[in-house]
Structure 1
Amino acid sequence: MLTGDGSAPSLIELVAESSHCMRHRGPDDALTWNDQDLVLGFNRLSIIDIEHSPQPLVWGPPEQPERYALAFNGEIYNYLELRKELQEEFGAEFHTEGDGEPIVVGFHHWGPEVVRKLRGMFAFAIWDTVDKKLFLARDPFGIKPLYLATGPGGTAFGSEKKSLLQLLDSLKLDHTLDPRAIEHYTVLQYVPEPESLHANIRRLESGTYATLSAGGEPATTRYFKPRFSIRPFQRDGDQARYDEIAEVLRDSVAKHMRADVTVGSFLSGGIDSTAIAALAIQHNPDLITFTTGFERDGYSEIDVAAESAEAIGARHIVKVVSPEEYISAIPKIIWYLDDPVADPALVPLYFVAAEARKHVKVVLSGEGADELFGGYTIYKEPLSLKSFDKLGPRLRRAAGKLSERIPEGTRGKSLLHRGSQTLEERYYGNARSFDDERLRRVLRDYRPEWTHTDVTAPIYADSEGMDPVARMQHLDLFSWLRGDILVKADKMTMANSLELRVPFLDKEVFAVAEGLPFDEKIAHGTTKYALRKALEQIVPGHVLHRKKLGFPVPLRHWLAGPEMYDWARQVIVDSDTDHIFDKQFVLQMLDEHRAGTVDNSRRIWTVLCFMIWYGIFVDGSIDPQIEEHQYPVRL
C-alpha cells in the first residue's frame, strides 16, 4: 500500500492482515517490507531457488544497494537468458538464482521497457525509493491478476480483491457496488476488465503497466496489443508452417518446465492438454497427469484422458466429483474468485487442482489454444452465414423481422435471426446468459445503455480490417479469455496453492499463431486445423480430431432434478438481493427449467453465483468456511 505521507509504518499490521487472506497463494513464507511511504506484503509459493529469493525482494546497484523493492507474482520462463543478457550488457550482479531478480535488475537498466523482454506470466510492483515512484505491470494475456484501489488515503494493490476490501477504509473509500458491472456480469457471466463489482476497486488490464507517484493517480500504458494479421510466412509450403508451430510449442513447453519442484499436467480428452502433456513428458519421464469428471454418462472424459495418459506413458490420477461435493464447494469457490464467474467448469477444476496439489506443486494446462488457433465451433459461423453478406442493411433487417414471426423451435429461425445481424451485433464472445428481453425482466435497475456493447464495441473497433474469424478471436482474447478462462485457471489452482502454467499463452507462440490465414483455422469442417496438422506426430491419434469437451458439467440435468433443484430454490428465496433481481422471475425460470420447457441452466447459474457472492462479500449471510492451508514447502 502506497501512502505518500510518511504514514506507511503505521499500516504494517493492517497490510499483513489483509495479505494473510491470500495465504493460499503462497503458504511457504509470508513477509512484509516498508519504508515511510510504502508497505509491501507477500506470500511466497517457492518454485525456483526455493531456499533463497525471498519476497519482497530488495535490490540496487552497488552505490544504492537497497534502491528497489519488488513484489512479484508469477514466473519468468526466460529468466536464465535475461540474467545472461544483463550480465553481458551491463555487468549486472545477481544475489539469487531466482526468476524475480532479473525483473528488478532489468527495470534498473531498461526502465519500463523491461516488460517487453519478459516471457512468462506476471503481476508485479517495483517501488523506487529514490525517485519515489511505483511501477506496476501485468503480463501480456492477463494470466496473473492485479487489483487497484486509489483514494485520498493512497493506493492499494494486490493479487486478490479481498485483500483490498480490508484496506478501503484506510484509503477513505466506501464499499459501493458498481451497477454497470453487475449488468455486464449478468449478460456475460463474468465481470469484464478493468471492472470489478466494487466501484472503487479496478483491475490493471492485461498487457498494461502503470506508474504513479505518492499521492497521484496511476498513469497506464498498454505495452502489448495482440493483433491477428494475414501475412505470408517466411518459409514456403504448408508443412513448413506446421513444423514452425510444433517447434515453437516444443520450445514453450521446455521453458515452462523450468522449476526446482515437480511439474505435472492437467489432461482432459482434448487435443490441447494432450499436446502439452505429450511434450512435457519429454522433459520429465515421470510426469503425472490429472483429470476430473462426473459419474453421469456423457459428462466425463475420464476414459479418453486415461487412454491418452497410457499412450504417452504418464502416470494418471482421476478425481470424480459428486453433486453433493459440487454444491458444498460453491461458497468456498466463490470466495476464492473475488467476483463471481458463472462457469460451471470452475468446480471440477477446483477439485482436480486439490487432487494435483497432493502430488505436485506446478501443473501445465492447455488454456489459450482455442483463442490463438481458432478452436471454438462458433468460429465456423461466418461460413454458414456467408450468403447473408450479400444482403444490404434493408434486406438484413427484413430477415430479422421475419425471424421474429417464426415460432420458437422452428428449424431455420435461429439461422435467419443471426444472419440478419452483423458480427458485432450477434457475437458477444463465448458467453451470453441473458438476451435483452430477459435482462430487462431479471434486473431491477436495468439500463439498456449499460449492455454488452460497453465491452465489445471498442474491441471490435480495434479489430477493423481483420477477417471475421480473426475478429472473433480478437474479441475473445480481450473478453472471454481474460474474464473467464484465465480467472478460473488462476483462482482455482491458487486456491489449492498450486501454480498453473499455460504454454500456449506465450508471446512466441502467439507470434506464429497471429499470421495464420482464415482457412488454416476452420478448414475441412474442423477447428484449429493448422494446430492439428502440427501435432500429428505429437498427440495420440484418438484425440487428434476429437470434438472439444473440456471438463463438461451436467448442470442442466442437476438443476432440473433432485441433485440441485431444492438447493437452488432455497438460495434464491434466502438471498437478500431483491433490490437487484426480480426473484419471482428467477424462480419462474427455475420452474420452467425443471419442467423442461426451456433450458435456463446458464441463466439460473449466473444469478445463483451472484447471490452466493453477495451473501459472502456484502451482507455476510453466507460463511464460505475457508480453512488454513498447511502444505509443506517441498513436494
Structure 2
Amino acid sequence: MCGLLGLLTSDASAATAVDLVAAASHCMRHRGPDEAGTWHDDDLVVGFNRLSIIDIEHSHQPLRWGPTESPERYALVFNGEIYNYVELREQLLTEFDAPMHTEGDAEVIVAAFHYWGPEAVLRLRGMFAFGIWDTQTKSLFLARDPFGIKPLFLATGPRGTAFGSEKKSLLELLDRLGLDDALDHRALEHYIELQYVPEPETLHTNIGRLESGCHATLSPGRAPTITRYFNPRFDVRPFTADTAASRYSEITDVLRDSVAKHMRADVTVGSFLSGGIDSTLVAALARQHNPDLITITTGFQRDGYSEVDVAAETAEAIGVRHIVKVVSPEEFVAAIPEIVWYLDDPVADPALVPLYFLAKEARKHVKVVLSGEGADELFGGYTIYKEPLSLRGFDRLPGFARRAAGRLSDRIPEGTRGKSLLHRGSMSLEDRYYGNARSFDDARLQQVLRDYRPEWTHTDVTAPIYAESAGWDPVARMQHLDLFTWLRGDILVKADKMTMANSLELRVPFLDSEVWRVASALPVDEKIAHGTTKYALRKAIEEIIPPHVLHRRKLGFPVPIRHWLAGTEMYDWAHLTIATSQTDHLINKQFVTTMLDEHRDGVVDNSRRLWNVLIFMVWHGIFVEKTIVPTIEDHTYPVRL
C-alpha cells in the first residue's frame, strides 16, 4: 500500500523534473511514510512513498526488473496488494523460470506483464494501481483493479502525461504539463446532485481518473489509449432444490478463501467491526487465522447513532479483542478541513468522518485492517433493491396509465401516504434509480447552482451504464449501476482516503474476483427474498456469525448531522462556512442559508443537501481560494519550489 507519482515527458526532459516530482510526491507522504524514492531516465521520472506490508526488507520501489538477458528492462511503481502473488510466483517460476529476487508481490506483477502482456491483469486477485515503464520500447502501461479499490489520476498536456495516487500531487505538475487548474463545472453539477464526483471526472477540468477495470498504454508525445478489461456481467445460474446446499457452500468456501488470502502480510492485521453482517463475517473468518485478532469500531454518544454496543456483543461472541472510539461533535467539526484535504475531491458522505477517526484509532494497534465494503453491491444488500418487487404492478400498466399515476402524484400534498409510490411507479427504472446518493432534484439544482445545465444531470452519468445492462432483471441492473457509481464514487473513495490518511492499509475481501464469480451468478430470489436482503449470503453464513447479527437491520456508521446542523454543535459552523465561502459565482448562497435556517427551525430536513454544499465550500476554500489551511503535520501543499 503506497503512493505513486509519475511524469512521462514529451521532450525527453525527465531529468529536469526529478526535484519537482519528489516534492509533489511528498504531498502524499501519508500513503507511504516508511520509504520514499525516485527513479528516472530521459523520458520518465517516478516518485514513490512506501507503506511496507509484505517483504518489508526488500521489494523497494521504484522496482527494476527484467528477464535474464535484460535484468533492468522495466521500472515499476505499484500501489495495492496482490493476494494470489504466492501462486502466481510459483507459476512464473515453473512455466518460464522467471528470475525472482524478492518475496513480494510487486515483482510478480512486472514479471507477469513481461510474460503474459496486458492480459496479466486478469490473473491478479487484489487491489492495485500501477505503472510499468518498458525502457526498450519506451512504452508505459498503467492499470487499475476491477472494482476501483485503489485510485489512479491522470493528466495529459502538450508536454507530457502525469499519473498518480492523489490528485493534489498532480496539481503540482500541471504547469509543467502546460495545463491550468480550471474548475470543471460539469463535474461540479454531478457532485452537487450525486454527492460525489463520478469517474472518470474530477473537479479539475485537466485531471481525470483511469476508470476501474481499465488499463492504458502510452508513449512519449502520445495520449493514453484506454482499454476496459473488466466488464461485470450477472451471468445467473438458477438454483434448484438439489443444488441449493452446494451453492450456499460455494459462497462460504469462496469467502473463506478470500479472507485467508487477504490475511497475507508481514505485519499485524486487524478488522473493522460494526453491527452488521458484512464486517462481522469478515472478522469471524479472520479470527480463524489469527486468534489474537483485534477489531475496532466507532460511534457517537447520541442515542440511535451508534452500533458500539452491538459491535461489543459481537466481538465477545466471536472471541476477539475489541477497541472502541467514540467521536464527539467537537472532534467531528474540527477534523473536517483535514479530512477534505485528504479526499482530493469532495465526497458528501458524513460517514467518512467517523471512518477517519476509526482508522486513526486502528493505526495505533495495527498496520492493516479488513472491512466489509462491496458485500451489498455483490450480494444484493441495499433495501432499495426490493423496490422493483413493490412496483411490479405498475410494470403491467400501459404507458398512458403510468403517466396518469405520475400526474396524480404531483397533485397529492407532500408527506401524504402513497404519493411516493405513485410517483416512482410512474417512472422507468432508468429514470427513477440513479444510485444511492441523489440529494438534489432538478428544481433544487436550478436554485442552488449558478450555472445549472439540464444536460449535465444524473442521466448524463447513468444512461451509458444502463445501456450495458439492457434486458437484465431490474435488481441486477441496479447492482450493476452501483458498481460504476456509488461503490467506486463514494464507498471506495472514502475507504481508501480515510485509511491512507492515517497510513493504514484497508483490504476488502468481498471485492475479490473469485467472490464476484460466485455472487454474480445468483438469481434475484437469492438476493431479495423472504422480506430480507442478501438472502443467499445470510443462508451461507448462518453457522458462522452470531444470531443477533444475522437478521439485523443494516445501519453502517450512522451520523447525527441532522441534529447537529440544527443545534449548537454545528449550526454556527455551517452558517460561518456559507458566509465566508468565496463561491458566490458558483453557488446561490442565499438559497443555501435559507435551507440552513429551515433546517434549524424544523421546517424540512435539509441535512444531507446542506452537508453536500458545505463540504464543497470547504474544498473550495482549501484547493481554490487557499483561505482554509488544514492542520496537517509537515504540511506541504501546495508545494513551492
TM-score using structure 2 length: 0.97
Q: 1:321 to 1:246 in 2, by over 3 A?
A: same
Determine helix, strand or coil for the equivalent of 1:2.
strand
User: Corresponding residue for 2:536?
Assistant: 530
Q: Matches of 2:221 and 2:330 in 1, distance apart?
A: 49
1:295 aligns with 2:282: no
Counterpart for residue 638 of structure 2: none
Letter in 2 for 1:447: R
Task: Give the distance between the partners of 2:230 and 2:414, measured in 1 at CA.
Answer: 44
In 1, Cα distance between equivalents of 2:150 and 2:242: 37
Task: Find the counterpart in structure 2 of residue 220 from structure 1.
Answer: 226
Q: 1:193·1:483 contact (CA, 8 Å) conserved in 2?
A: yes
The runs of 5 or more residues in structure 2 that have no matched partner are 1-6, 636-641
- 1:37 aligned residue (28, 36, 43): 43
CA contact (8 A) 2:239 2:523 kept: no
- Match in the other structure for 1:195: 201
Q: Where in structure 2 are the equivalents of 1:565-576 lying within 5 Å?
A: 565-576=571-582
* Seq. identity, %: 77
Secondary structure at 2:230's aligned position in 1?
Answer: coil
Deviations 1:461-499 (A, max 9, x none): 101111111110000000000000000000000000000
List aligned pairs for 1:205-354, cutoff 5 A. 205-232=211-238, 236-354=242-360
What's the counterpart of residue 475 of structure 2?
A: 469
AA partner of residue 308 (structure 1)? T
Distance (whole Å) between structure 1 residues aligned to residue 11 and residue 68 of structure 2: 28
Q: 1:154 aligns with which of 141, 152, 160?
A: 160
In 2, the alpha carbon distance for the partners of 1:207 and 1:17 equals 30
Aligned length: 629
**Counterpart contact for 2:380–2:528, Cα < 8 Å:** yes
Question: In the alignment, is the contact (CA less than 8 A) between 1:266 and 1:273 conserved in 2?
Answer: yes
8 Å Cα contact 1:4-1:38 kept in structure 2: no
Distance 2:323 2:304 in 1: 20
Asked if the contact 1:244/1:512 (under 8 Å) is kept, the reply is yes
Counterpart pick for 1:482 among 484, 488, 499: 488
Matched, 1:93 2:99: yes
Of 482, 495, 504, the match for 2:501: 495
| Letter of the structure 2 residue corresponding to residue 183 of structure 1 | E
- Cα shift readout 1:329-379 (whole Å, capped 9, x = no counterpart): 000000000000000000000001000000000000000000000000000
1:619 aligns with 2:625: yes
Unaligned 5+ runs, structure 1: 630-635
User: Are positions 1:66 and 2:72 aligned together?
Assistant: yes
2:10–2:158 CA contact under 8 A, matched in 1: no
Matched, 1:371 2:381: no
Instruction: Determine if contact 1:233/1:515 at 8 Å carries over to the other structure.
Output: no
Question: In the alignment, which residue of structure 1 is the partner of 2:639?
Answer: none
- Whether 2:394 is the aligned partner of 1:388: answer yes
The answer to whether 1:54 aligns with 2:60 is yes
C-alpha contact (below 8 Å) 2:131/2:143 kept by paired residues: yes
Q: Does 1:427 align with 2:433?
A: yes
Residue 111 of structure 2: aligned partner: 105
Where does residue 7 of structure 1 map in the other structure?
13
Partner in structure 1 of residue 525 of structure 2: 519
- How many Å separate the matches in 2 of 1:333 and 1:535? 35
Match of 2:124 among 99, 103, 118: 118
Residue identity opposite 1:587 in structure 2: T
Separation of aligned partners in 2, 1:213 and 1:153 = 12
Report the Cα distance in structure 1 between the residues aligned to 2:196 and 2:74, rounded to whole angstroms.
36
Which residue, 538, 558, 561 being the options, matches 1:555?
A: 561
Per the TM alignment, residue 230 of structure 1 is displaced from its structure 2 partner at its CA by 2.1
Question: Secondary structure of the residue that 2:133 maps to in structure 1?
Answer: strand
Instruction: Give the Cα separation in 2 of the matches to 1:230 and 1:511.
Output: 10
Q: TM-score, normalised by structure 1?
A: 0.98
User: Which residue does the alignment assign to 2:184?
Assistant: 178
> CA deviation digits over 1:142-166, x for unaligned, max 9?
0000000000110000000000000
Worse overlay, 588-597 or 203-212: 588-597
2:458 to 442, 452, 477: 452
Q: Displacement of 1:70 after TM fit?
A: 0.2
- The residue that corresponds to 2:596 in the other structure is 590
- For residues 121 and 605 of structure 1, the distance between their equivalents in structure 2, rounded to whole angstroms, comes to 30
CA displacement at 1:229 relative to structure 2: 2.5
Correspondence for 1:608: 614
Quote how far apart the aligned CAs of 1:626 are: 1.2
Cα drift, residue 235 of structure 1: 10
